[in-house]
Amino acid sequence: MKAIVQDRYGSADVLEFKDVPTPVAGPGELLVRVRAAAVNAYDWHFMRGDPYLARLAMGLSRPKKAIRGRDYAGVVEAVGDGVTRFTVGDEVYGEVDGTFAEYVAVAETSVGAKPKNLTFEQAAAVPLAGNTALIAVRDLGQVRPGQKVLVNGASGGVGTFAVQIAKAYGAEVTAVCGTRNLDLVRGLGADHVVDYRTDDFARTGHRYDAVLDFVANRSLADYRRALTPAGTLVLAGGGVSEGGSLLGPIALLLRSVVLKPFVSQRVLALTAANSPENLAALAELLDSGKVTPVIERTYPLADAADAIRHVEIEHARSKVVITV
C-alpha cells in the first residue's frame, strides 16, 4: 500500500510517499480502507519531534512510528478474531497512529460508527479535534446553559469544534481569533468575537465562567484575569511560546499545576484520551446538525507533506483533510 513515511525528525521534507506492507487485522482489530484522514498540529509536532521532551515517548533519535497521521474515516475491509461490533463494509471513523495510508489496522474498542450525514472527508476532520473540544467543554469546563465561555484559538481545528459544542451546551460564547477569521467564527454561532490583533480579551473587563485555551500564547496571569473568581481555565494549547522547543506548551501546563492549590479558580490541563463513547457523543451532535466540521482545504495522499506544511507554517484555519 502507499503511505506517508518518515525515518528521521525534521521539516515536511523528511516525509516520503512510498510503498509499505499492508497491515493485517489481528485479534480484536479491524482493517480499515482509509478514505480520508485529517491533519492536526499533532502531526507536525510528531514530524519534528517537538517539543524535545516529548521524544521520550515519540522516540529519542527517530520516530518509533514511521507513518504519519492520526484521524481517519473509511470502510471496514476485514475483521480479526473476536470482533463483534463491526463487519466488512461498515463505515467507521476514529483515531490511531499511521492514518496517512491506504489501510490502517485499528482496535475495535477505539472505533466509532461514522456519522450518517457526513462525507468521509468531514468525518475524518472530527476525531482528534472534536474529542479534544468535547472534553474541554463538557468534562473539564463543565459548561452549563447560560454560562459565559471564552474560546481562545476559535478558528483552529479544535477551536471551531469548541465554539459549536459550547453553543450546543447552552453557553454564551466569545471567540478569539485573527481578523481574517471573524466571519468564520460568527458563522459557527459565536455570540461575540474578539480580534486578537486589535483587542486584548484579558483587559476588556469582561469575565468568563470558563476560558478554553487552544493556542497557549498568553500568560497564566492573562488567562486568570479573564475569569470570574470561581471560573475554570482549561489549558490545551499547542503553541511553543512558553517553553520553546524544549518544553513547548508543557511549560504552561506545569505552571498550572504549581498554581492550582493557591487560587480559587480551577486551572486544568487537558489530556484527551479517545474513546468510542466520545465518538458516539460527537456523532449525536453531528447528526443533529448542532455541530458541523469546517474544512479549509483538501489534499491528495501523495501531497500530504504540503498539507502538513500548510498547517504548520501558514496557520490553517479550521481543518485540512487528506483524501485517499
Backbone angles phi, psi at 12, to 5 degrees: -60, -15
Percent of the chain with pLDDT over 90: 74
Instruction: Provide the angle, in degrees to the nearest 10, between the axes of the packed helices 127-134 and 276-288.
Output: 90
Low-confidence ranges of the chain (pLDDT < 50): 239-246
Determine what percent of the chain falls in helix, strand and coil, rounding each to the nearest 5: 35, 25, 40
Segment 232-258, tens digit of pLDDT: 999 886 544 444 444 555 555 666 666
Question: Which residue shows C-alpha cell 463491526?
Answer: 86
Question: Strands 208-213 and 148-152, how do they pair?
Answer: parallel
Q: Give the pLDDT confidence score for residue 193 in this predicted structure.
A: 97
- Topology classification of domain 2-126+293-323: Quinone Oxidoreductase; Chain A, domain 1 (3.90.180)
- Of 77, 96, 103, the residue nearest 20 (C-alpha): 103
Helix, strand, or coil (residue 78) = strand
pLDDT tens digits, 180-236: 999 999 999 999 999 999 999 999 999 999 999 998 788 888 999 999 999 999 988
Q: What is the pLDDT of residue 256?
A: 61
pLDDT for the residue numbered 255: 63
Half-sphere exposure of 139 (CA within 13 A, CB side): 15
The CATH number of 129-269 is: 3.40.50.720
The number of beta carbons lying within 10 Å of the beta carbon of residue 268 is 21
Residue among 180, 196, 183 at smallest CA distance from 316? 180
Note the pLDDT of residue 316: 73
> Domain coordinates of the chain in residue numbers?
2-126+293-323, 129-269
pTM over 0.85: yes
Report strand pairing: 29-39 vs 111-113: unpaired
